[in-house]
Amino acid sequence: MRLSHPSRNFGERRGGARPSLIVLHYTGMESAAAAAARLSDPQAEVSAHYLIDYDGEVRSLVAEKMRAWHAGAGAWGEIGDVNSHSIGIELQNTGAEPFPEPQMAALERLLGEIMGRWGIGPAGVIGHSDCAPGRKIDPGARFDWARLVRQGLAAPERLDRAATLA
């Protein structure tokens, strides 16, 4: 079930960019409610397109056509403004725990939908640690990249990268 929890922390995608990446994050917070509050607090100046709770509940925070503020400073290949070229998904998790089955199942459904809508291939599904190495480690060592790779929702290269973070 998709709930709406709108955030005001977004803007126009710069230079006519369209999503070619999906960036996965963990919240680092104890609850999805706390994360949703932070991701919609104008003073925090952070957001994401989606937030997925432990139980698989998906909250939509920013419309996909807009530029959410989730990636911060970083780059991916030739892309310097990752926010303008990506859709951000936050997963409720402290970073020190496994990602529960209902949450992973909801992520898989959402990834499939987004990839289909925007024509994003498995190589376009990355972690925050990929576009901000040395600064960010999420979605972290406990994230099951192998599960996404087996379903064609992430590229095998993610397994190599994830192994360096473990």
Structure tokens at 59: 């909250």
Residue-wise pLDDT for 30-39, tens only, equals 899 999 999 9
High-pLDDT (> 90) share of the chain, %: 88
133 upstream amide cis, omega within 30 of 0: no
Mean pLDDT (the chain) is: 93
The answer for residues whose C-beta is within 8 angstroms of residue 98's C-beta and 6 or more apart is 142, 144
**E strand residue ranges, 2-122:** 2-4, 10-11, 21-26, 50-52, 58-60, 67-68, 86-91
pLDDT bracket for residue 1 (50, 70, 90):
very low
pLDDT of residue 5: 78
pLDDT at 4: 78
- pLDDT tens digit string along 66-93? 999 999 998 999 999 999 999 999 999 9
For residues 46 and 9, is the Cβ–Cβ distance under 8 A? yes
Angle, CA of 133, 26 and 60, to the nearest 5°: 120
Parallel, antiparallel or unpaired: strands 21-26 and 86-91: parallel
Instruction: Specify the pLDDT at position 76.
Output: 96
In the chain the domains, ranked by start, together with CATH numbers, are: 2-165 (3.40.80.10)
CA–CA separation, 70 vs 67, rounded Å? 9
Q: Tell me how far CA of residue 10 lies from CA of 61, 69, 101, 148, in angstroms.
A: 10, 6, 30, 28
Contacts by residues 30-35 (CB-CB < 8 Å, ≥ 24 positions apart): 30/94, 31/92, 32/57, 32/59, 32/92, 35/90, 35/92
Q: What is the pTM of this model?
A: 0.95
User: Is the pLDDT reported for residue 96 higher than 60?
Assistant: yes
pLDDT of residue 163: 61
Integer angstrom CA distances of residue 35 from 80, 94, 104? 26, 11, 18
